[in-house]
């Protein structure tokens, strides 16, 4: 299985959202006595025997790696089974957020746009949207599917695909974790837009990631990632390249920051000031 492949999902289906999200206590409550699950009971007994034979540490490594594999297949199959209904629950960026940050009739650039899903979401609020991506195959698919005259797609990066152009908002969703030279990309975006919406996988969303890393198990989210992100690491990358986060969101294992353009030194000072205030409040 190619972990870095783009999942192929079917047409939008109402099955997943028809159930609705848990909004009340009743939606996430259940009886104390659960139906007996024989497979779980047998597994507990087998685990006790395995602990005695191989030891806790070796068994833990086995379960962590098995958990990663099962999670990966479950995630991809959920994309294929529920399509956009599931996909929309796994990202922080939403129609409401874009409506708040995109000026009416403004211009948006989506960097690493893939097949253009976010371009069309942004297109509901923007007067002009440009999606760029290195992958010619994905851009070709985006062009074939596009029926909006105010949305266009180009092959290239920030420096080659946007000569002298300016935008109100730049989108950088599920991209930064794939990029080795983060500084060049973030500084290039400063030249084309004053507002950046960046979203990355949230390493801290799963506490078992700390255990996986300590035991040298598989702990990256995707085989194509060159790093994972915690909030302090993302803040540091943004600050040293002249971006100041003004809003944070976390959902579905992802972390989003809305940033405003500033001078690199100024942004770093604001981050340090925020850290100092947080430390003082804990004293």
Q: Which range among 5-19, 132-146, 195-209 shows the weakest confidence by mean pLDDT?
A: 5-19
- Confirm if 240 and 264 have CB atoms less than 8 A apart: yes
Q: For residue range 192-249, what is the model confidence (pLDDT) as tens digits? A: 999 999 999 999 999 999 999 999 998 888 888 999 999 999 999 999 999 999 999 9
60 pLDDT higher than 80 = yes
What number is the average pLDDT over the span 27-45? 86
Burial readout 139-176 (b: 16 or more C-beta within 10 A, e: otherwise)? bebbbeebeeeebbbbbebbeebbeeeebbbbbbbbbb
CA distances from 247 to 118, 139, 192, 250 (A): 19, 30, 20, 11
Q: Percent of the chain having pLDDT more than 70?
A: 85
> What CA–CA distance (Å, rounded) separates 242 from 180?
18
pLDDT band at 27 (very low <50, low <70, confident <90, very high): confident
Burial of 215 (0-12, 13-18, 19+ CB in 10 A): middle
Whole-model pTM?
A: 0.81
């Amino acid at each position: 299985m190619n972990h870095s492949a783009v999942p192929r999902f079917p047409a939008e289906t109402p099955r997943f959202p028809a159930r609705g999200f848990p909004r009340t206590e009743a939606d996430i409550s259940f009886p104390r006595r659960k139906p007996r699950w024989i497979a779980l009971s047998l597994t507990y007994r087998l685990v006790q025997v395995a602990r005695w034979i191989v030891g806790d540490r070796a068994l833990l490594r086995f379960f962590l790696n098995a958990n990663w594999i099962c999670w990966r297949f479950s995630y991809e199959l959920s994309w294929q089974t529920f399509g956009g209904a599931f996909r929309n629950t796994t990202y922080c960026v939403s129609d409401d957020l874009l409506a708040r940050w995109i000026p009416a009739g403004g211009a948006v650039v989506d960097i690493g746009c893939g097949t253009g899903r976010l371009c069309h979401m942004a297109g509901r609020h923007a007067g002009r949207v440009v999606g760029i991506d290195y992958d010619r195959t994905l851009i070709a698919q985006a062009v074939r599917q596009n029926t909006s005259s105010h949305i266009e797609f180009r092959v290239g990066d920030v420096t080659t695909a946007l000569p002298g152009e300016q935008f109100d908002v730049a989108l950088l969703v599920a991209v930064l974790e794939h990029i080795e030279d983060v500084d060049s990309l973030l500084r290039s975006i400063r030249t084309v837009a004053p507002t950046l919406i960046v979203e990355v996988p949230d390493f801290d969303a799963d506490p078992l990631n700390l255990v996986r890393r300590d035991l040298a198990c598989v702990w990256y989210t995707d085989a194509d990632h060159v790093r994972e992100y915690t909030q302090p690491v993302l803040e540091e990358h943004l600050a040293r390249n002249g971006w100041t986060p003004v809003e944070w969101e976390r959902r579905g294992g992802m972390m989003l920051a809305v940033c405003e353009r500033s001078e690199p030194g100024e942004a770093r000072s604001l981050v340090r000031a925020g850290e100092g205030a947080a430390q003082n409040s804990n004293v």
